Amino acid sequence: MSGTSSALRPPSDAVAPVRHPDAPAPGELLGAHYDLCFGCGGGQPHGLHLEARAGEGVRITAEFTVQPAHQGAPGLAHGGVLASALDETLGSLNWLLRTIAVTGRLETDFVRPVPVGTVLHLEAEVTAVAGRKIYSTATGRIGGPDGPVAVRADALFVEVKVDHFVDNGRQEEIRAAMDDPDTVRRARAFEVNP
């Protein structure tokens, strides 16, 4: 994180992250936290449909395939879509901490173009925690999990209460999520960054 802004450098009193004992097991597919989420939801026809898996410690891996609807320049992924993939991956880390948190800051480096049809292999980890602040980093590679880096990001997430979503979300969607008879889906709808 040498080129990272000071806002994304953990303070000297930050502590190492601790994986929650009830976190998904390494290798477990995390699944969508909300069906209409642009990043992971299956109900978004042009969404990323990003699939994340729990890793060891406080790490996850994820993949998504760049579709024609995700392009900016002809045949290449839009930078905003790549930033969304990084944000979604980084936000999914909070499932391993069992913490509700939202993106406070995201700094993204675009290293090389990502063509349409490419599978972007993402890896992310929480690096430190300081009070309500969660510091994390991610990389996205093309050509495989060990391929060349195409994008990378450092992020700061801030722990919030569920009221953050209830007070600020559009009431129609909030009511639908709160009224879902599936208690697991209802709880997971508010687990990560909206």
Q: Is the pLDDT of residue 122 over 80?
A: yes
- Residue 185 has a pLDDT of 54
What average pLDDT does this structure show over 160-164? 61
- For all residues of the chain together, what is the average pLDDT? 86
- Return the DSSP state at 25: P
Q: Which positions ≥6 away from 14 have C-beta within 8 Å?
A: 128, 129, 130, 133, 135
193: closest CA among 169, 177, 176, 171? 169
The number of residues in the chain equals 194
- Residue 40 has a pLDDT of 83
- Residue 4 has a pLDDT of 74
Q: What span, in angstroms and rounded, lies between the C-alpha atoms of 168 and 173?
A: 11
**155 phi, psi to nearest 5 deg:** -145, 155
User: What pLDDT digit, counting tens, does each position of 51-103 carry?
Assistant: 999 999 999 999 999 999 999 999 999 999 999 999 999 999 998 998 889 99
Q: Taking a C-beta distance cutoff of 8 angstroms, is the pair 56, 96 a contact?
A: no
103: closest CA among 158, 151, 140? 158
